[in-house]
Structure 1
Amino acid sequence: MNLLSLRRAADSVGIPRVLRQLVRFGWVQSLSCVFPVVIFVSLAVTQQFSLPWLPRYDWLLIICLAMQAWMLLAGLETRDELKVITVFHLIGLALELFKVHMGSWSYPEEGWTKVGGVPLYSGFMYASVASYLCQAWRRMQVRLEGWPPLRLAVPLAASIYLNFFTHHYWIDVRWCLFALVLIVFRRAWVTYQVGRRRYRMPIVLSFALIGFFIWIAENVATFFSAWQYPNQSGAWHLVSLGKISSWLLLVIISFLIVASLKLYKGRRLPEAPGDRYSAF
């Protein structure tokens, strides 16, 4: 049954428009989360069932690579989106190597594909965030209003990323960075389409919502031993609410990179009417 048939069926039984829009929104979000869902399912399955021949971390890397290749071949991701996802994989892997070295968290299981104590599959967890952003952007025809110039957005993103490293040696300036985000993006809005209607929200609110749901996903991931915080070495505990701020900053970096690349490509390619910043 396609979406047109679902809409007609909903009309025939008198389902309220708000509920129908909510279902449509959830459906599009689900399609955009295919990569993260596969990662979570793989974490759960490999924890419950021991796979032969290779350690668990190595199987997870193979699954992620196979999923990435399938999404590209099936047309679920474009080549340009794959480039963005690869950038996130490298950014995330660099962060993982540093954080594990500093003892922020660990990967206690064995694996052939571990470098500096970090399994290579871990980069795909960051890449899955980029995959979600790219797919949701395309499926919901995301557009930006009041977006700040790149001369402000790019240094801000770089400062946020560097603070993940420098706060181990210097003061943590994340709250100053949050204040800068509020100032720089005070006039920025994101608009998106659900069905035939467009909606808009402040860009900072979208950052917060995505960061909160990633924190929920982090709790699921640590429950299935994707990685382990020091206080989870004996038994699993809920991830600290303070981690939401870290994920919020990571989401801001992710969104800034995706938006900046789309803006750059939008300047290089002719725009279709109403498609500003919307297509890779």
Structure 2
Amino acid sequence: MLSLNAPFTDLLTSSFRRLLAFAWGQTRACAFAIALLSGVAASTLLPGLPVARYDLLVVYGVLLTLLFWLRGWESGRDVAVIAVCHVIGLAFELVKVALGSWSYPEPAVLKFAGVPLYGGFLYAAVGSYVCRAWHLFDLELVRYRPRATAVVAAAIYVNFFTHHWLPDARWPLAALLLAVTAGTSVRFTVRGARLRMPLALSFVLIGFFLWLAENLATYVGAWRYPYQLHGWQPVGVEKFGAWSLLISITFVLAAATRPRPAAGTRALASN
């Protein structure tokens, strides 16, 4: 009886340890985001200062970026991806804030059209997560279609602007994203084991945790939705779907900067 149960017990123990290792790796990948949100939360506790809180957070975000680069936690290539995420995020913020989707109610010097420059670091944190996860888990794409995925991701980004004036194509674009990523998987390493996950599933899982992070970010005052101006309320669950789509943009940017495997290696990986 013991001999029959031993392999099963060993399997459970090994799986549990692998799950813990995966969770710890994900936490490490979120280091920039955790540090940034901690800084946002801590800034609400500061006494009255001659410098606006949003402006202090810009300096804090720059220092965080330099620290991660100088410590070697992020490469120069990663910093470039993160910078692009910052710019794309700021463009997104400018349109959404102008349309009243959400707001940054506090004053600041480093603020343009209602958007503080630190707002871009919230998107940079997502870029940092993807880049660090790539290194920490030794990510490898199998049967990835870079051009088709990039086109759909770009269309998703544009739709988040145009749906204010044109019909919302979110659901058709979600179907297209599923189509172009069908058969695409992400291979990653946890405790020496090489595992695989469908790329579309990874978008959904990341989107869920970004939705949780957004709830935390609004709770500590990173920004405010109109219904949160007079007291915090949970972020609507529809944002979960929005993040699951938006993460494709960050992923495409990060994937474009990774060296491609040789043809023979790629063929072997797809088997």
SS in 2 for 1:147: coil
Distance 2:140 2:164 in 1: 37
**What displacement does 1:271 show?**
9.4
Distance 1:29 1:160 in 2: 26
Match of 1:33 in 2: 30
Identity over aligned residues, as a percent? Answer: 40
Match of 1:223 in 2: 219
**What displacement does 1:114 show?**
0.5
Instruction: Mark the CA change 1:236 to 1:186 in structure 2 (over 3 Å): closer, same or farther.
Output: same
Q: Of residues 196, 204, 211 in structure 2, which corresponds to 1:208? A: 204
**What displacement does 1:50 show?**
2.7
Match of 2:243 in 1: 247
Distance 1:208 1:46 in 2: 31
Distance 1:229 1:41 in 2: 20
RMSD: 2.1
Match of 1:172 in 2: 168
Match of 1:238 in 2: 234
Match of 1:162 in 2: 158
Instruction: Mark the CA change 1:114 to 1:21 in structure 2 (over 3 Å): closer, same or farther.
Output: same
Q: Which amino acid aligns with 2:241?
A: S
The TM-score normalised by the length of structure 2 is: 0.90
Aligned length: 258
**What displacement does 1:149 show?**
4.3
Q: Which amino acid aligns with 2:260?
A: G
Match of 2:7 in 1: none
Structure 1: which 5+ residue stretches go unaligned?
1-13
Match of 2:260 in 1: 266
Distance 1:19 1:53 in 2: 50
Instruction: Mark the CA change 1:169 to 1:79 in structure 2 (over 3 Å): closer, same or farther.
Output: same
Instruction: Mark the CA change 1:201 to 1:47 in structure 2 (over 3 Å): closer, same or farther.
Output: same
Distance 1:31 1:202 in 2: 22
Does residue 116 of structure 1 match 2:143? no
| Alignment deviations for residues 85-139 of structure 1 (CA, whole Å, 9 cap, x no partner) | 1010000000000100010000000111111100100101101101000000111
The TM-score normalised by the length of structure 1 is: 0.87
Q: Is the 8 A contact 1:50 1:56 kept in 2?
A: no
Match of 1:62 in 2: 59
Match of 2:182 in 1: 186
Structure 2: which 5+ residue stretches go unaligned?
1-10
Q: Which amino acid aligns with 1:266?
A: R
**What displacement does 1:216 show?**
0.2
**What displacement does 1:52 show?**
2.6
Distance 1:248 1:51 in 2: 38
